[in-house]
Chains A and B, each alone.
Chain A
């Protein structure tokens, strides 16, 4: 069953001189319920813009996004957006527990939200860090806080905007393992935007490849690698290497001007 449907999404931004700039042209694809979908494209192709339109943070110029069959018109309660820059989306004046609680305290009250926050922090491996402030933690830990906050809202759909691009390589592997664990346990639907070919192959069931601007959908690639995936063994499978060769080549051609 399709859970997130993007249909004919076109985006134009007003330009100071002349007609509006069309950055995205009729992008259509769907993410099935419980699926892990990666969106891959050259930098500047509007991957994040597409994700924001799916999250209801930005209206498309034409076309529509649907979540659970309902048209997205503002941020829907089933979906949560995870930001690339955790330092900007975490609130520095709140400690870690209250940052996580922020996701739900307007719905269930501060006391219950804090209790829920402790549960989510334990889930992402940050039990006992509730009293710390975000800026006292490493980048990887801060992104864990952001993930815990997203989980606290108990979303069915996680929309992740290059969530691991600002951390070092080893921390990235940790966070990828964490997100796969959470996705499996909670039976979430995930759409993750990345420019990292290996990350897309390692995590996803399918990969939506985008072109350069004006962005269109180039193709959808079935990954077809067995699960559970292993950070080392999976990356050495012939299928992984074949996909990497193929996708990286396409990405490079599209990247070239």
Chain B
């Protein structure tokens, strides 16, 4: 806590900015009815949260995000391992993957709506596609980084393909897979909210657009604040999980420095 109170702490800047928000709105410096004071926004946030409406919407958004992230990420790991260990699969499918990758994901939402509808199926698919690519790229890089000596070690003890994949290759490229998932996580939240804003009547994204149309500025800002906190919390949570799961990797890194 003492570190937070230091003048150089970034925390103080945030407090100052929030204060500026409150003051600027109270004195109407923006000259706009759509710039409510922070206290009013927080009151709206508390009201909607305690009323149960926002938590429910948020739960739906998180569910779609994680379903997409896990499905797309798992596919990325499997395809990445395949591409890296069986060159023929990469020759066959590599070009297709490279052609799909540069498409901005929100651009495929309209066509997907036609096939998969407006609801969960479409959104989870879009998020899954988003998560797939960073995880795929990183997994392939990870497989290339596996120590040749570790593989030869497996061979000298007569270890077969599956054991080698599960006990040498997969753990060795896990740091890369995690890095891919961290990128995918941030993208997944963005794309889930965007998908909800564009299509259907679900989740926080839809609520945000609804509040904008209704001219309810406090609720709109409350949602933005909620998403900011959520994004920050998800990333922090992921980093903590990564440090636990890859304790050996971080210990090795600390040793080398």
Q: Is the interface of B mostly helix, strand, loop or mixed?
A: helix
Interface residues of A in 203-244 (CB under 8 A from B): none
A102 within 8 A of B: yes
Mask of B153-167 contacts with A, CB within 8 angstroms, 1/0: 101111110010001
A135 and B255 form a contact (CB under 8 A): yes
Number of A residues with CB within 8 Å of any CB on chain B: 25
Contact A102 B167, CB 8 Å, known A81-B156, A133-B248, A153-B157: yes
A106 and B160 form a contact (CB under 8 A): yes
- A250 to chain B minimum Cβ distance, whole angstroms, is 31
Number of B residues with CB within 8 Å of any CB on chain A: 23
A125 within 8 A of B: no
Candidate in B160, B248, B252 with the most chain A CB atoms within 10 angstroms = B248
A177 within 8 A of B: no
B97 within 8 A of A: no
CA distance A77 to B155 in the complex (A): 10
Q: Which residues of B contact A (CB under 8 A)?
A: 147-150, 152-153, 155-160, 163, 167-168, 171-172, 174, 248-249, 251-252, 255
Q: Which residues of A contact B (CB under 8 A)?
A: 52, 55, 57, 74-75, 77, 79-81, 83, 85, 88-89, 91-93, 102-104, 106-107, 133, 135-136, 153
Could you name 27 residue pairs across A and B whose Cβ atoms are closer than 8 Å? Answer: A52-B152, A55-B156, A74-B155, A75-B156, A75-B157, A75-B158, A77-B158, A80-B157, A81-B153, A81-B156, A85-B149, A88-B147, A89-B147, A89-B150, A89-B152, A91-B150, A91-B167, A91-B171, A91-B172, A93-B174, A93-B249, A102-B157, A104-B157, A135-B248, A135-B252, A135-B255, A153-B157
